Amino acid sequence: MKAKAMVLFVLSMLLVCAAPSGLYAAGADPGKGQSIYTNLCARCHGVEGKGNGVMKFTPPVADLTLPAVQNKLDATLMKEIHDGRKNTAMGTWKFVLSDEEIREVTAYLRTLNSGVRSSRP
């Protein structure tokens, strides 16, 4: 009985610890995220993330430094990167980037914040 309880405890702790890693970019390596960003995202979003890359589209490329973007939850940004935005030039990255790489690039996006750092995770 005691062993069973221990197993249940360990399993539930694993769940508690594993769950947030898919929801938050905190803890992911923004340095790795930067090289992903430079290689894949900067041509549209610009080196500084201001949406002033060499390629132009309609609707325009998002300025990732704005509060409108930075105030979104990590989970929302990661979903946008994972799935892309319908009917825009923002493509689906899930076939190119692993979940971990999406977390890393999201951690890097947080360093582009132009305004006051969002208090949300």
Residues that bind ligand HEC (CB under 6 A): 40-41, 43-45, 55, 57, 59, 61-62, 69, 72, 77, 80-81, 85, 88-90, 93, 105
User: Which is closer to ligand HEC, CB of 21 or CB of 91?
Assistant: 91
List CB contacts of 35: < 8 A, sequence separation 6 or more: none
Contact 67, 79 (CB under 8 A): no
SS3 (DSSP) at 22: helix
Q: Find the radius of gyration of the CA atoms of the chain.
A: 17
User: Which is closer to ligand HEC, CB of 23 or CB of 40?
Assistant: 40
User: Which is closer to ligand HEC, CB of 43 or CB of 47?
Assistant: 43
